Structure 1
Amino acid sequence: MEFRVGDRVMLKVSPWKGIIRFGKRGKLSPRFLGPFKVLARVGLQAYKLELPPEMAGIPNTFHVCYLRKCLAVEESVIPLSDIHVDENNRCVVEPEAILARKTKELRHKEIVMVKVQWKHHRGLNVTWDAEEDLKRRYPHLFS
């Protein structure tokens, strides 16, 4: 494979799992990190990458066999600084607005469903949720 300067690539880290730990351990450990920007081509089969400061102890030149082209759209990548995690290690996402309401009829009861737009959410940021669940979790949204 060949990359151009400015391309975004993913870095394969599975050979280094025993040497350097990247986040989780075991089968939940990441196989690829990134995306990283290609700064320069070094020789015929190596590339220099722009690594973040937290990876300062790792050399920034890698053989082409450790790189994969990043196919993700730049806007869909969520920076780790934007992710908020609570004490139970769950991602915290706040609702922004209620867009619509509808009633879902079941056999013995009716459930009011609301269409919610979420903050800090990439991709599809609108979902249908039960109103009573949202009132319990986010009472400030209904006041």
Structure 2
Amino acid sequence: MLKKCMRYPSLIIPTEDIGIKDSLSYEEIHLPILDRQVCKLRTKEVVSVNDLWRNQFVEEATWEAKEDIKKRYPHLFKFGEVPN
């Protein structure tokens, strides 16, 4: 269990409940894409998508390149393109 700086023993959460691995990392789960935008450069256009991850609020969603997300999570793009 993680016990660093815990004043109250009742606040200690067993790592098995969270799914933390021995390397103190966990797998983040990708939720649906919220929005998309196109940034126009001089010679090309870069499409970005607004990603929401589990354990995040909507305000904390991040903008990432669509091609990077498509490589890592192809199941999000199975049924056509992301709506505008």
- What's the TM-score bracket when you normalise by the shorter of the two chains? 0.5 to 0.7
Instruction: Tell me the distance in 1 between the aligned counterparts of 2:6 and 2:57.
Output: 16
Matches within 5 A, 1:1-143: 33-37=4-8, 50=9, 52=12, 81-82=17-18, 91-121=26-56, 125-143=60-78
Q: Deviations over 1:53-95 (max 9, x none)?
A: x8xxxxxxxxxxxxxxxxxxxxxxxx6743555xxx8653121
- In 2, distance between residues paired with 1:134 and 1:119? 15
Using structure 2 for the length normalisation, give the TM-score: 0.62
Higher relative contact order (CA 8 A, sep 6+): 2
8 Å contact from structure 1 (residues 117, 127) kept in 2: yes
- TM norm structure 1: 0.40
How many residues were matched structurally? 76
Q: Rate the CA distance shift 1:119–1:113 in 2: closer, same or farther, 3 A.
A: same
Runs of 4+ in 1 over 2 A off after TM superposition: 79-85, 89-92, 120-125
Distance 2:18 2:32 in 1: 19
Pick the structure with more helix per residue.
2
More strand by share: 1
Q: Distance in 2 between matches of 1:120 and 1:36?
A: 24
Q: State the 1:105 CA deviation.
A: 1.7
Q: For the aligned residues, what is the CA RMSD?
A: 3.6
Q: Unaligned stretches of 5+ in structure 1?
A: 1-22, 24-31, 38-49, 55-78
Instruction: Please say if residues 52 and 58 of structure 2, whose CA atoms lie closer than 8 Å, have aligned partners that are also in contact.
Output: no
* Percent sequence identity over aligned pairs: 30
